[in-house]
Each structure stands twice: as structure tokens, then as C-alpha cells.
Amino acid sequence: KAGVTQTPRYLIKTRGQQVTLSCSPISGHRSVSWYQQTPGQGLQFLFEYFSETQRNKGNFPGRFSGRQFSNSRSEMNVSTLELGDSALYLCASSLAGGESEKLFFGSGTQLSVL
Amino acid sequence: GEDVEQSLFLSVREGDSSVINCTYTDSSSTYLYWYKQEPGAGLQLLTYIFSNMDMKQDQRLTVLLNKKDKHLSLRIADTQTGDSAIYFCADTQGANNLFFGTGTRLTVIP
């Protein structure tokens, strides 16, 4: 069974640009969540999608958005990039998002904003 | 708001036991988790404990939960060099919304 796949693995952008990151969950998983990991702020929750609907959102500005497709694949978009958006973006999936469910993480997309 | 604290570094000798500690503030958490992150990789769920339990053992891993003191610990018996990684404790704030601690970097000395 394939794990959570995130593409691309690395990305370099400049300030003001926008970026789209992709996440393919484990087959059969319908809940996809996104996290930002930085040395200064640690791991922070961005948002969670289930059946194409955003169920939960963290404390990030509106420049961060996401969506989920009918096949449960998800994308997140960051517009008007800032230097502080440089981070490892992690996607995770589970069956339905229940608290006792095992959450599987991808290897992440390392975004560098210059 | 919620706060989850961990010490930043821990070094142990191969074969010894490691104990990683975590304190949290949100007493309403139903589950508490331990994740492991190796260099260049995502997070791997090691174990979790339901909030009405005091202890959970899973092979070399033992989780202790003191709800009164809001203290969680992870003990790794017979620590190996492959256990070198960053360990995060986390609690739930909603559907797949985990609040992570700062992480403890475990270094195992051969």
C-alpha cells in the first residue's frame, strides 16, 4: 500500500509569487490535513479536509488556502509568498479524521522563499 | 491557549533507557500521542494513550500519563542508534488537528 505522497519534494520561489503543493493520501483515506514546520514555530496545523469540505482551520492568514478533490487528493496554495513562509509543509491522511485513528504523514515539501 | 512543552535535547548511551518528558495545559484532550521524525522524513506515529489510562506498553515503548500534573512521558527501553530522531508529543484539538510540542532531539551514543 503506497504511503502519503507529496510533490514536489523541494521548491524554491521568490517573494510575491504563489505556490501550489500537492498531496495524495493513502488509498481509502478521506481526511487530509496540512501542517507547517519551521525551526522557530515548530509544527503548526494549517487545515483539514474531509470529503472535499474544510472542517477545521488553524491560525494562518488567508494567503494560505487549500482544497480537496473527489478522489481525496488535496492541494494547498500560498499566494503572495513572504520570506517567513519558508518551511517544510507536511500533509497527513487518515480514514475519517477520528481522534483514535492513525495519522500517516508524507515526507513533506521543503519550500524556500528567496 | 494550549501549550505543550518538551526539553530540547537528550543524549543516552546505546542499551540504556531513554525517558522523554512532555507537559501540556489542555486537560480536555482525549488522546495524547508520541511521534518520531527522522532526518528528511515526515512524522511517524509511535504510540498513543487514551486520557483515562495511566500507562500503556508497546514492546520497547512505555507511555506514562499523569493527568493531575498534566505530564506525559515516553520511555524507550534498550535504546538503539536507530532510535536517534526528534520525538514530538501531541494532543488533539479536533479532527486531525494535532497540537505538537517543541520536540526532543534524542541522540544515542554508541
- Give pLDDT tens digits for B41-92: 889 999 999 988 999 999 999 999 999 999 999 999 999 999 999 999 998 8
In percent, the amount of chain B with pLDDT more than 90 equals 75
Q: What is the pLDDT, as a whole number, of residue B29?
A: 79
Q: Is A60 touching B (CB cutoff 8 A)?
A: no
Rounded to whole angstroms, the Cα distance separating B64 from B49 reads 8
Rounded to whole angstroms, the Cα distance separating B49 from B56 reads 7
The reply to whether residue A107 touches residue B42, judged by beta carbons under 8 angstroms, is yes
Rounded to whole angstroms, the Cα distance separating A109 from B5 reads 26
The reply to whether residue B96 touches residue A103, judged by beta carbons under 8 angstroms, is yes
Q: Where are the beta strands (DSSP E) in chain B?
A: 4-6, 9-13, 18-24, 31-37, 43-50, 55-58, 61-66, 71-76, 85-92, 98-100, 104-109
Q: What is the pLDDT, as a whole number, of residue B9?
A: 96
> Nearest Cα to A47, choosing from A7, A92, A88?
A92
Per-residue confidence band for B1, with pLDDT thresholds at 50, 70 and 90: low
What are the pLDDT digits (tens) for A45-75? Answer: 999 999 999 999 999 999 999 999 999 999 9
CA distance, residue B106 to nearest chain A CA (Å): 16
- Select the residue from A103, A104, A107 to test the B interface by mutation, using most B Cβ atoms within 10 A: A103
Per-residue confidence band for B95, with pLDDT thresholds at 50, 70 and 90: low
Size of chain B in residues: 110
The reply to whether residue B45 touches residue A50, judged by beta carbons under 8 angstroms, is no
CA distance, residue A31 to nearest chain B CA (Å): 8
Cα torsion angle, A6, A11, A44, B51, sign: positive
> Nearest Cα to A45, choosing from A114, A112, A97?
A97
Q: Is A31 touching B (CB cutoff 8 A)?
A: yes
Residue A1 reports pLDDT greater than 70: no
Residue A85 reports pLDDT greater than 90: yes
CA distance, residue A52 to nearest chain B CA (Å): 14
| Cα nearest neighbour of A50 on chain B | B95
One-letter identity of residue A46: L
Chain A residues whose beta carbon lies within 8 Å of the beta carbon of residue B93: 45
Helical (H) or strand (E) element with A38: strand A31-38
